[in-house]
Amino acid sequence: MGLFDKLRAELIDIVEWVDDSRHTLVWRFPRYNNQIKNGAQLIVRPGQIAVFVHRGEIADVFEPGHYELRTDNLPILSTLAGWKYGFDSPFKAEVYFVSTKQITDLKWGTPNPIMLRDPEFGPIRIRAFGTYALRAVDARALLKELVGTDSAVDTDEVTELLRSMIISTFADTIGSSNVAALDLSSKYQEFGETLRQAVQEQVDDEYGLEIPQLFIVNISLPEAVEKALDTRTSMGVIGDMNQFQQFQMGQAMTAAAENPSGGGAADGMGLGLGFAMAGRMMQPGMGGTAPGTVPPPLPVAAVWHVAVNGQTRGPFSTQQMAAGVSSGEVNAETLVWSDGMTGWQPAGNVPQLSTSFQVSPPPPPADS
């Protein structure tokens, strides 16, 4: 290879950027020590802008298209380089490609809860997250404010700043709206557009960026508050709590009656539910005693506890104990105890129960 061919090989004759990434905002053409020759081809694809920089000064900007680099389409660079009568020799210049397509898969969210004074619940904490899109609209401002001398700028270098702006603006927007927490879900679209416009005003002129879309995906309350709301909703669905409790008592009594193996314990449960139902019925407005009328005190009935296989069962009423004797579940040797007794005693030795174990005499013989 001759000297002329070697020098020609060091000259750049095609300037282009084949963008295979999704998050690159700015990319500098790797010129290294090579020079761009007169008549080189510049290819700017859709969604790109090419910017020439000469000695730190922004020169010519090219929209998408195919160009042959000559003096007539590099007027600013010609002036900066002092090409009064055109140029025939290679020249040095930095070429930056700026992506103008929308980057749509960016996310934002509140790292910490935001305190609000809700008109219904009082002080509460909320979290929020969403998505937004980003696009470069002013290549000159972008190069001056964010790029500097970097060879490439990704969205990661600006998304942290944008997320901070979005979260701060979101807190101001929600706090000044005075919208109740339960109504926030109906305002997602409205708040999202207000938020987008407010952030757009901060980044448009200064950084040359545009936020064409911004969405609020969810605004959530703390888990404890959400559980309390679920309970409140359940109570609202139930409606009349008194009727619901009566319905539950009726179901429990039916289940106890249908359990033939329950024995005395099932009878006791049914009796207890009956007392509870009677208590509900005695409430004012449900057919009970009129307000202000005090009934006489009820007689105190004996309550018995039975020892079965080393375990205490009960309490049982005297009637339930008699039923247990009749069914054979309780015999004279069964240990029982009631309030006032010094200790466990066989049922046959307890006067209140001993009569249940007396053998009835047989019927008298017929007259002969």
Beta strands (DSSP E) in 192-274 are 209-210, 214-220
**Contact yes or no for 54/103 (Cβ under 8 A):** no
Q: What is the pLDDT of residues 187-231, one digit of tens each?
A: 899 999 999 999 998 887 678 899 999 999 998 887 877 777 777
SS3 107: strand
For residue 16 the two structure tokens come to 């282009």
- DSSP 8-state symbol, 10: T
pTM for the model:
0.56
Residue 22's contacts (CB-CB under 8 Å, 6 or more residues apart) are 103, 105
Q: What is the pLDDT of residue 214?
A: 94
User: C-alpha angle with apex 199: 46 to 22, nearest 5 degrees?
Assistant: 30
Look at residue 235 in the predicted model and tell me its pLDDT. 65
Question: Average model confidence (pLDDT) for the chain?
Answer: 78
| Six token digits for residue 285 | 């407005």
Q: Are 152 and 24 in contact (CB under 8 A)?
A: yes
* Residue 167 CB neighbours (<10 A): 19
Question: Which sign does the torsion angle of CA 72, 78, 83, 84 carry?
Answer: positive
Report all structural domains of the chain as residue ranges with CATH numbers, in order of start. 3-99 (no CATH), 103-227 (3.30.479.30), 241-279+302-355 (3.30.1490.40)
Tokens, residue 157: 């270098």
Give me the tens of pLDDT residue by residue for the chain, a chain 368 residues long: 444 444 444 567 889 998 777 888 899 888 766 678 878 899 999 999 999 988 888 888 999 999 998 877 788 888 877 776 566 667 888 899 999 999 888 999 998 888 888 887 788 888 999 999 999 888 888 888 888 777 788 888 888 889 999 999 999 888 888 888 888 888 899 999 999 999 998 887 678 899 999 999 998 887 877 777 777 666 666 666 666 666 666 666 666 666 655 555 445 544 454 545 545 555 555 445 555 566 666 666 678 888 888 888 878 888 888 888 887 888 888 898 888 888 888 988 888 888 777 766 667 777 64
Q: Please give the angle made by the CA atoms of 175, 179 and 182, to the nearest 5 degrees.
A: 120
pLDDT of residue 1: 44
What's the burial of 112, exposed, middle or buried (CB within 10 Å: 0-12/13-18/19+)?
A: exposed
Q: How far apart are CA 10 and CA 40, in angstroms?
A: 13
* Model pLDDT for residues 251-264, shown as the tens digit of each residue: 666 666 666 555 55
